[in-house]
């Protein structure tokens, strides 16, 4: 076990990679009441086609999410969710485009809860009856998503940005795709992706690192396996696939998302992490709540409090987005381009930029007060190959010229798309 200290933050991270390849990270916070644990596999909704050895394997869309749902069933008929709740833990799980994570928080019984977590995630148990039942449950979930404007506007945004990239695949899949899932398919995917070499355990809070590593070594007994290779056969140019997509739904107020397609740094790791943080800072500089553009559009009534931005890095795709209510997404996109050009020509406002940097640093420091956020930092840092605690140093390294360069290069019509949800048009009788 190694220990890396961060004296400027008052933090330590203990880590070890077990003989079977499982990576374990522990951040003790002995003054905290709550402890948080995350056990994750690099397997998500985009991983429907992957390479194992020399062969490509195709699986139904939605299988990673389906597998997450079924992992709580145990061979003895018990339910892991119930077992964790009985210990006073609060369990949950989620699947994204490129990872699945099983989590719990607790104030007591950490070691027992941790052993339950590790045991059920590494113990697959599927039957024809349980799979058929889950197909009905997830089918209802999919239909609810299809009726959700916020879900549809986001899914359509991805499809408009990307022509082939698997990030276009809906994480829950479709009713038709999950109907193809069988117990054997689940067993096969669990064996491939839930092998210790493809997983990470992170714990933060009132915890003994030695006890965590001992529990992981004792419970996770599977041998190391081959790490599957994601399909990189898709071809994506730097520009969006479609400039606009519109869908009518039963809504009273139109809403939209504006996507900005970014070209991920091929070096990955720290370089991609830096690019991600730069994108967040640049979007704040361009359209954050204290930006001149935001204030002007708000005072003009073009936008309201629903207006917000974000940056996503998913399954090798990187993009920025803005979401808001209204029927003027195209106009707002044009204003973003106009403002980005104007800012790039001015040389920037260094004082305003320094204020945004201080705000971003403050947000990072607040995040470190959350055991949950610390766990996810360690998980993502391991999966994506960057130093989990380097965020402050990276933010401090940026200059206003970096932000202006980002805006000039990326906030252009060719890299932008608008996804709109409009009310259903009434037909006059």
Choose among 232, 235, 320: nearest CA to 275: 320
Chain centroid to Cα 377, Å, comes to 11
- Give bridge partners of residue 199 from the DSSP assignment: 41
Q: How far apart are CA 26 and CA 375, in angstroms?
A: 8
Centre a 10 Å sphere on the Cβ of residue 268 and count the other Cβ atoms it contains.
Answer: 14
- 375, 37 in Cβ contact below 8 A? yes
Q: How far apart are CA 342 and CA 336, in angstroms?
A: 10
Phi first, then psi, for residue 108 (nearest 5°) are -140, 170
Phi first, then psi, for residue 260 (nearest 5°) are -120, 110
Q: How far apart are CA 23 and CA 1, in angstroms?
A: 11
CA distances for 176 relative to 135, 146, 153, angstroms: 10, 14, 21
CA distances for 90 relative to 33, 82, 105, 370, angstroms: 14, 10, 5, 16
Annotated active-site residue in 16, 61, 68, 313: 68
H helical segments located in 171-308: 175-178, 183-193, 209-219, 269-287, 292-299
- Report the sign of the C-alpha dihedral through residues 385, 386, 389, 395, in that order: negative
Catalytic annotation on 299? no
Task: Take residue 310 and report the two structure tokens written for it.
Answer: 């974000």
3-state secondary structure of 127: coil
Task: Take residue 258 and report the two structure tokens written for it.
Answer: 């504006």
Catalytic residues: 68
């Amino acid at each position: 076990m190694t220990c890396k200290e961060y004296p400027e933050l008052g933090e330590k991270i203990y880590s070890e990679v077990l003989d079977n390849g499982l990576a374990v990270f522990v951040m003790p916070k002995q003054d905290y009441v709550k402890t948080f644990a995350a056990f994750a596999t690099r397997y998500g909704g985009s991983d429907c086609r992957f390479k194992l050895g020399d062969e490509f394997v195709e699986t139904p869309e939605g299988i990673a999410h389906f597998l997450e749902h079924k992992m709580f069933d145990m061979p003895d008929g018990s339910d892991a969710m119930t077992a964790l709740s009985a210990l006073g833990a609060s369990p949950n799980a989620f699947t994204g485009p490129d990872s699945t994570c099983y989590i719990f928080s607790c104030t007591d019984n950490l070691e027992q809860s941790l052993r339950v977590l590790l045991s059920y995630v590494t113990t697959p148990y599927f039957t024809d009856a349980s799979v058929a039942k889950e197909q009905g449950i997830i089918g209802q979930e999919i239909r609810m998503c299809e009726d959700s404007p916020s879900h549809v506007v986001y899914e359509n945004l991805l499809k408009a940005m990307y022509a082939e990239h698997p990030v276009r695949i809906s994480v829950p899949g479709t009713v038709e795709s999950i109907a193809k899932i069988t117990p054997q398919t689940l067993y096969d995917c669990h064996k491939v992706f839930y092998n210790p070499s493809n997983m990470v355990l992170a714990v933060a809070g009132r915890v003994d690192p030695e006890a965590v590593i001992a529990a992981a070594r004792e419970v996770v007994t599977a041998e190391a396996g081959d790490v599957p290779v994601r399909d990189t056969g898709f071809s994506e140019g730097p520009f969006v696939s479609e400039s606009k997509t519109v869908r009518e739904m039963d809504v009273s107020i139109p809403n939209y998302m504006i996507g900005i397609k970014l070209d991920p740094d091929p070096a990955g790791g720290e370089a991609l992490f830096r690019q991600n943080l730069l994108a967040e800072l640049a979007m704040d500089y361009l359209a954050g709540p204290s930006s001149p553009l935001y204030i002007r559009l708000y005072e003009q009534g073009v936008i309201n409090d629903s207006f917000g931005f974000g940056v996503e890095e998913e399954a090798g795709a990187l993009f920025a987005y803005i979401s808001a209510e209204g029927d003027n997404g195209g106009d707002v996109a044009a204003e973003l381009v106009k403002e980005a050009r104007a800012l790039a020509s001015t040389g920037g406002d260094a004082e305003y930029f320094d204020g945004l940097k201080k705000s971003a640093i403050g947000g990072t420091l607040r995040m470190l007060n959350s055991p949950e956020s610390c766990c996810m930092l360690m998980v993502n840092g391991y999966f994506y190959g960057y130093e989990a605690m380097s965020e402050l140093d990276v933010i401090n390294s940026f200059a206003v010229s970096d932000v202006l360069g980002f805006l000039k290069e990326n906030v252009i019509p060719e890299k932008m798309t608008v996804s709109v949800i409009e009310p259903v048009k009434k037909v006059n009788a």
